[in-house]
A and B are shown apart, each in its own frame.
Chain A
Amino acid sequence: DVKVTQSSRYLVKRTGEKVFLECVQDMDHENMFWYRQDPGLGLRLIYFSYDVKMKEKGDIPEGYSVSREKKERFSLILESASTNQTSMYLCASSPNYNQPQHFGDGTRLSIL
């Protein structure tokens, strides 16, 4: 089975902090994705990557950056956390565009 692991299930940070959310997949997938999920808004794509060191902006990239130095790891970075970034963050991976994305368990991030 595909395993997508997010480093933290729950995280509490303060406004202005630099926050790192880590995601690791064990199936050698090419594509990796970061979403945020908010009530009534569904999942919105922040950034994605289809190869090592490659990244593409999703629908809501402002305030975020990403890093993919190794194929299995995709990191989401909040450069200077703000309260409106309190949300559930979901990481996903897929081998190619015709295959379903496999998700991690999510990180509930609270910015105080």
Chain B
Amino acid sequence: AQKITQTQPGMFVQEKEAVTLDCTYDTSDPSYGLFWYKQPSSGEMIFLIYQGSYDQQNATEGRYSLNFQKARKSANLVISASQLGDSAMYFCAMREVLYSGANSKLTFGKGITLSVRP
């Protein structure tokens, strides 16, 4: 069974500083993918970054980077130069390939609340 763990309580960071949001996962599948989403207070889910299990490089997207440590089964999100608009809930999710092999579903963690202080 798959599992995504996000155990940090509410996180606080000073504006313009970097912050790391932790995510660990558990799977026996050799092929998987990891996603991070942001959910502001308005409720919409915004895709941030993706890392495939066979990717050689850590994923980066602008101020977001993913610290992927396969042996430790961790996929931490790093946000550099935090902005007030980064205040939101952040979800880590893992793609599970289904029995058909052609389809998949995502399993989400419980989320981490990030607050950026001015």
Contacts and interface: CB of A to CB of B under 8 A. Distances in A.
A90 interface: yes
Contact of B105 (A45, A90, A100, A105): A45
Interface residues of B, number: 26
Given A48-B105, A97-B102, A100-B35, A40 B110 contact: yes
Contact of A106 (B37, B43, B93, B107): B43
A101 B37 CA distance: 10
B21 to A, nearest CB: 14
Q: Taking chain B's interface residues, is the majority helix, strand, or loop, or is none over half, making it mixed?
A: strand
A102 to B, nearest CB: 7
Q: Taking chain A's interface residues, is the majority helix, strand, or loop, or is none over half, making it mixed?
A: strand
B43 A43 contact: no
A98 to B, nearest CB: 7
A31 B44 contact: no
Nearest to B35: A100
6 contacts: A40-B110, A42-B108, A45-B107, A88-B43, A101-B35, A101-B47
A103 B95 contact: no
B68 interface: no
Interface of B: 33, 35, 37, 42-47, 50, 52, 91, 93, 95, 97-98, 102-111
Interface of A: 31, 33, 35, 40-45, 48, 50, 56, 58, 88, 90, 92, 97-98, 100-106, 108
A58 B105 contact: yes
B75 to A, nearest CB: 14
B66 to A, nearest CB: 13
Nearest to B46: A103
Given A40-B110, A45-B105, A100 B50 contact: yes
A103 B108 contact: no
Contacts of B93: 43
Contact of A97 (B44, B45, B47, B103): B103
